[in-house]
Amino acid sequence: MKADVFDPRALREALGAFPTAVTVITASDPADRPVGFTANSFTSVSLDPPLLLVCLAKTARDYPAMTAAEHFAINILSETQKDVSIKFARPLEDRFAAVDWARGPNGCPIFAQVAAWFECSMHDVIEAGDHAMMVGRVTAFESSGLNGLGYARGGYFAPSVAATVNSSAAGGEIGAVAVLERHGALLGDENLSLPSYSAGGGDPAKTLASQLERLGLSVHDWFSLLDL
């Protein structure tokens, strides 16, 4: 597909094939009020000096406050914090009221129970199309040892759950079961059992999905992408 005829939705879906962590970027506005937004466009840039980068849409409500801040923080959400991600992805008035947080060494909001957090001084702001890249120099950080929340193809997933499933499949015989749904309701009654498949090798979930698709049924793989 040529660049001058890109379908924005198709491009977004293609970029979504890359699994990422989920973060909430926080700072304080000129009145020292906390501001923040959910972002998965976060990456490490350099260890020496320690630099991180996050991208912010120019249309974001807190764009002026964020890009003008002297410091900002990156909260890497843990597997149990999908609700936090959703709150900070929506234009709610007081998103911080529903989150347990405290000020970091430089005053940025730091969330409790995150996988890790980094507080940064603003190193540079680089305009790039409809976004700006905020480059921060790490001044403080902490890692809790908790697993981070994952995001891919428009949905959340828990890496520890996926790892457990893959480990079970490699360790021997496991079973897979399907749930049938039509118009929002589950199909079946007390005389029917759920279709299932057991295998001593390979991937039984994929084999079951293949068998159901041959019957013309749409299959959603809850192992590879878990909506918490």
Q: Are 88 and 24 spatial neighbours (Cβ–Cβ below 8 Å)?
A: yes
Q: Tens digit of pLDDT for each residue in 66-86?
A: 999 999 999 999 999 999 999
What torsion do the CA atoms of 107, 110, 116, 121 make, to the nearest 10 degrees? -20
Report the pLDDT value the prediction gives residue 227, as an integer from 0 to 100.
35
Instruction: Name, in order, each residue with C-beta under 8 angstroms of 101's C-beta and a sequence gap of 6 or more.
Output: 26, 34, 109, 110, 111, 112
Contact status, residue 203 vs residue 173, Cβ threshold 8 Å:
no
Residue 223's pLDDT is 42
Q: How confident is the model at residue 225 (pLDDT cuts 50, 70, 90)?
A: very low
pLDDT digits (tens, 9 = 90+) for 115-172: 999 999 999 999 998 999 999 999 999 999 999 998 877 788 776 655 555 544 455 5
Q: 226: pLDDT confidence band, cut at 50, 70 and 90? A: very low
In tens, the pLDDT along 10-68 reads 887 887 777 788 999 999 999 999 999 999 889 999 999 999 999 999 998 899 999 99
All domains of the chain, ordered by start, with CATH?
A: 3-152 (2.30.110.10), 159-214 (no CATH)
**What's residue 8's pLDDT?**
80
pLDDT for the residue 228: 34
Q: What is the pLDDT of residue 10?
A: 86
pLDDT computed for residue 222 by the predictor: 45
| pTM passes above 0.75 | no
How many whole angstroms separate alpha carbon 155 and alpha carbon 226? 8
